[in-house]
Amino acid sequence: MQKKSIRRQIEITISIHQSHNIKTKQFTFAFPPNELILESGKKLGPITITYETYGKLNKEKTNAILVTHALSGDAHASGNHEEEDIAGWWDKLIGPGKFIDTNKYFVICSNILGGCRGSTGPASINPNTKKEYATNFPLISIGDIVNVQKELVDHLNIDKLLSVIGGSMGGMQVLQWMVAYPERIKSAIPIATTMKHTPQQIAFNEVGRQAIISDPNWKNGRYYGSKIPAKGLALARMIGHITYMSDDSMKIKFGRRFKLNKEKYKFGAEFEVEGYLHYRGDSFVKRFDPNSYLYITKAMDYFNIENGKRLGSIFKGLKTKILVISFKSDWLYPSQQSQKIVKACKLARVKTTYCDISSNYGHDAFLLEVKEEGQIIKHFLNSVLSNDWKESPLTIQKI
Amino acid sequence: MEGITINNPENLIECKTILDWISAESSVLDLGCGDGELLSLLIKKKRVQAQGIEINQQAIQNCIIKGLNVFQEDIDSGLSDYPEKSFDYVILNQTFQQVKKPAFVLEEALRVSSKTIVGFPNFLHLSSRLKMCFGGKVPVTKSLPYKWFDTPNLHFFSIADFIEYCKTKGIKIEETVVISKNKKVRVFPNIFGEIGLFLLSK
C-alpha cells in the first residue's frame, strides 16, 4: 500500500491590531516532499507567505477580494500598524467606509513569492544549506506568484473570489488569475498594466538590475550579513521613480526649484527633484532586498500572456466580469497597453468595462488618483456583488 | 455625447420604436450610450447582451452604477477591433450627427452588426426652416437645442439627405419612423419630423 504523505501546513499570526481588525499572518506550505513545482520545473519548498486581511469573510464566503501588489509593495495594503504607524500602500482605497469598503468586503493582500517583506524570497534561509538562498533562489514567474496566492486562497477555504484587483505588476497578477484560475474569480480589475513588457519596459528594468549588480557590495548576491549593495538599489529605485511620474507631475511637484541653504554648482542634490530622488532611493534601501529586486523585475520582464497566441483566444470562454483601468499620463504602462487587453476581451466576448482616467500623476496615478479610480471600482464591485438582472440570460452564472 | 433620456417622456416613442425593432436576447452595441438609460431598458425588457461605448467620464460612471459593460472610447475609432457581424444590433441614437466621420462610422457599424439603428435630429424641420428664413439665424429648436458656438453636433442634414445617402451607398432601409412631439409623423416627414429613426442593414 502506498504511504500517504501528509501535507503539512502551518499558520502563524504575527500580530493582530484589534482597532482596525488588521491581521498580519503567515502561512507556510509546500513542505518536502510536496514542494511547489515552479513554471521553470524547479521545486521550491517550504514556502512562507505573509498576508494581511481586512474586514470579515461572510458566511457564504462570497465577499472576498484579493489585492495584488506592485514591484515594491507588500502585504500591508490598508490601515496603520501600531508599532510602525505606516499607512498601507492602498490605504486611500481600502478600509472601513472607503471605496473598497472593509465593512462590506473581506480583503486579502499577500507579499509575493520572491519578495522580501515576510514571504519566501532570495533573502530567506534555504533549509538545505541553512544559509540565505541569495542567487541560488530559483527564477520565479508571475505564474508562480499567482499559484502561491491560489494556495493561500485555498487555505482560507474560499472557493470563489469576488474580485482580484491590482495595478502595474499587481495588474499582471490579475491577468494571470484570469487565464490560470478563471473559475476561481467572479471579477477582475487589472489597472495600469500590460499583457507583456515592451523592449522599453525591459530596458528600464535592466538598467535598474545593472545598477545593483555593478555595485561592488553585491558580490554575486552573497552580501547577507555584510554591507548590502545600497547604492545600486537606491539608483535602481531612482530610475524607477522617474518612470513612475510624468513630466507634468514633476513640473508641478518640483519645478526648477532649489533646495534651500545649498551652494550652487556642486554635484550634490541641488534641485528639489534631485533631493526627492535621493530620498526615495535611500528610504527604499531600508525596506527592500536588492536580490528580490532582481528576481521580481525578471519575473515582470518574462511575463507574457500573449505568448504567441491569437489575441482573441487569450481570454476565450472567460465568464469573469472585467474592469480595465488606465491613466492618460502614464507613459510607463501607457493606455494603449490597457486597450490591447480590452481588445483581447472584446474579441473573446468577455463582459468588459474600460476607463481611461484623466490624471497627470503618470504611472503613480493608480496609487494617487484614488477618487476617480475608487468610485469606478466601488460601483463596479457593487454590480458584481449584486449580480442583478443585468446579467445576460445566456451567460448568467449560477451561485 | 448624450444618449436617450427615458425620464423625458418626449423620448418615449423613440424608446418604444427601438424596443420594437430589437429582438429578445440579442446582442447590442450602443455607440455613445450616455448614462446607459437605453441599454438598461433593453436589458430589462429584452434581456439583451449589452455593451456600450462612451467618451464622457461621468456618463461612464453612471453606466457602471447600472452594472453595464462600457468602454471609454471614441466612437470614430472604437469599432475597428470587432470582426464582422459581432453584434445583432449597433445603435447610433442621437450620436450619429456628432461623430467626426459619419460615413466611416456608419460603414463600420453596418460591418460589425446584422442591423444598425440610426437616430438623428432633422435639420430641416419646419420650425428650423422658419427660423432660418425669417429669423436669419442658425435655428435653435427642441431637437436641436444648441447654439452655434457650443453645439456637439458636427453635421447637419435632413431626413431626405439621409435617405438619399443610404440609396447611393446601397444601404437597405428596413424601417423608418419619423417623430415629432412624441408622435409618429406620416405626412411630409422631412418637413414635420423632428427626429428620424432608421433600421438599416447591408
Each residue's pLDDT tens digit, A287-326: 999 999 999 999 999 999 999 999 999 999 999 999 999 9
pLDDT > 90: percent of chain A: 85
Contacts of B53 in chain A (CB under 8 A): none
* A376, closest residue in chain B (CA to CA): B61
Count other Cβ atoms within 10 Å, centred on residue B108. Answer: 21
Sign of CA dihedral A266, A267, A269, A272: positive
Closest by Cα among B124, B120, B49 to B89 = B49
Q: Which residues of A144-162 are buried (b: 16+ CB within 10 A; e: fewer)?
A: bbbbbbbbbbeebebeebb
Distance CA A77, CA A91 (A): 6
A168 is catalytic: yes
Q: Does A375 touch chain B (CB under 8 A)?
A: yes
Among A351, A383, A393, select the one facing B25 at the smallest CB separation. A393
As a whole number of angstroms, the longest Cα–Cα distance in chain A is 80
Among A343, A358, A393, select the one facing B47 at the smallest CB separation. A393
C-alpha cell at B74: 471614441
Q: Does B68 touch chain A (CB under 8 A)?
A: yes
Cβ-proximal residues to B5 (8 Å cutoff; 6+ apart), any chain: B11, B34, B35, B37
Q: Does A321 touch chain B (CB under 8 A)?
A: yes
Q: Are A317 and A365 in contact (CB under 8 A)?
A: no
Q: Residue B33's beta-bridge partner residues?
A: none
**Catalytic member of A78, A330, A338, A364:** A330
* A344, closest residue in chain B (CA to CA): B81
* A336, closest residue in chain B (CA to CA): B73
Instruction: Flag residues of chain A having pLDDT under 70.
Output: 1-7, 14-21, 83-84, 261-263, 388-399
| Element housing B103 (H / E) | helix B102-112
Contact criterion met (CB < 8 Å) for A388 and B67: yes
Q: Does A383 touch chain B (CB under 8 A)?
A: yes
Among A347, A354, A390, select the one facing B72 at the smallest CB separation. A354
Q: Does B57 touch chain A (CB under 8 A)?
A: yes
Distance CA A39, CA A207 (A): 26
Q: Does A353 touch chain B (CB under 8 A)?
A: yes
Can you give the pLDDT at residue B171?
97
Can you give the pLDDT at residue A98?
97
Contact criterion met (CB < 8 Å) for B64 and A353: yes
Q: Does B60 touch chain A (CB under 8 A)?
A: yes
Which residue ranges form the domains of chain A, and what is each CATH number? 10-197+306-386 (3.40.50.1820), 202-301 (1.10.1740.110)
Count other Cβ atoms within 10 Å, centred on residue B26. Answer: 17
Q: How far is B34 from chain A (nearest CA, A)?
A: 14
A81 is catalytic: no
Contacts of A379 in chain B (CB under 8 A): 61, 64-65
CA distances A256 to A235, A272, A362, Å, are 21, 7, 19
Contacts of A321 in chain B (CB under 8 A): 69
Each residue's pLDDT expressed in tens, for chain B with a length of 202 residues:
445 555 564 568 999 999 999 999 999 999 999 999 999 999 999 999 999 999 999 999 999 999 999 999 999 887 999 999 999 999 999 999 999 999 999 999 999 999 999 999 999 888 889 888 898 888 888 888 999 898 888 888 999 999 999 999 999 999 999 999 889 999 999 999 999 999 999 9
Can you give the pLDDT at residue A391?
44
Please name the fold of domain B9-123+154-201: Rossmann fold (3.40.50)
Count other Cβ atoms within 10 Å, centred on residue B60. Answer: 28
Distance CA B147, CA B124 (A): 16
ipTM score of complex:
0.89
Q: Does A340 touch chain B (CB under 8 A)?
A: no
Centroid of chain to Cα A94: 15
Contact criterion met (CB < 8 Å) for B48 and A375: no
Closest by Cα among B50, B59, B5 to B25 = B50
Among B47, B57, B64, select the one facing A392 at the smallest CB separation. B47
Domain ranges of chain B: 9-123+154-201
* B41, closest residue in chain A (CA to CA): A390
**Catalytic member of A326, A359, A363, A364:** A363
Q: Does A19 touch chain B (CB under 8 A)?
A: no
Q: Are A184 and A164 in contact (CB under 8 A)?
A: no
C-alpha cell at A196: 507583456
Query: For chain A, first and last CA: distance in Å?
Result: 40
Interface test with B, best of A347, A353, A357, A358 (most B CBs within 10 A): A353
**Catalytic member of A168, A187, A326, A338:** A168
Count other Cβ atoms within 10 Å, centred on residue A70. Answer: 25
* B68, closest residue in chain A (CA to CA): A390
Classified as helix, coil or strand, B12 is helix
Cβ-proximal residues to B4 (8 Å cutoff; 6+ apart), any chain: B11, B14, B15, B34, B37, B38, B93, B94, B119
Q: What number of C-beta contacts closer than 8 Å exist between A and B?
A: 66
Q: Are B113 and B53 in contact (CB under 8 A)?
A: no
Contact criterion met (CB < 8 Å) for B57 and A358: yes
Q: Residue A375's beta-bridge partner residues?
A: none
CA distances B127 to A67, B139, B190, B192, Å, are 58, 8, 12, 9
Each residue's pLDDT tens digit, A244-262: 999 999 999 999 998 876 6
C-alpha cell at B130: 422658419
